[in-house]
Amino acid sequence: MIRVVLPYHLKNLAAVDDEVTVAVIGEVTRDSVLDALESLYPMLRGTIRDHQSKQRRPYIRFFACQQDWSFRPGDEALPAEVAEGREPFLIVGAIVGG
């Protein structure tokens, strides 16, 4: 099971507490984790990435093993620590303003 940590506003939308777990069949990539997450929590569709293009929404970032995965290809395999459930995959909402 893949552990996913959501930002506060998406936790509220999905009505979950802390982190969620999703099952991924096949290779564990950013896109496969997001597909599983959106399948399990359909209310999140369109909030993390665009419905059509599947591109990351502005102000959303992805982290795995303390590394920014926001600009890496969506089909690149995530680290083994994430795939094995030892480390979470983090979805972070940026804070903007002045």
Q: What is the pLDDT of residues 39-93, one digit of tens each?
A: 999 999 999 999 889 899 988 999 999 999 999 999 999 999 999 999 999 999 8
- The b-or-e profile of 18-29 (16+ CB within 10 A means b, else e) is eebebebeeebb
In the prediction, which pLDDT does 98 show?
61
In the prediction, which pLDDT does 18 show?
86
In the prediction, which pLDDT does 39 show?
96
In the prediction, which pLDDT does 94 show?
78
**In order of start, what are the domains of the chain with their CATH numbers?**
2-93 (3.10.20.30)
pLDDT at 7 over 70: yes
pLDDT at 97 over 70: no
In the prediction, which pLDDT does 31 show?
96
pTM over 0.85: yes
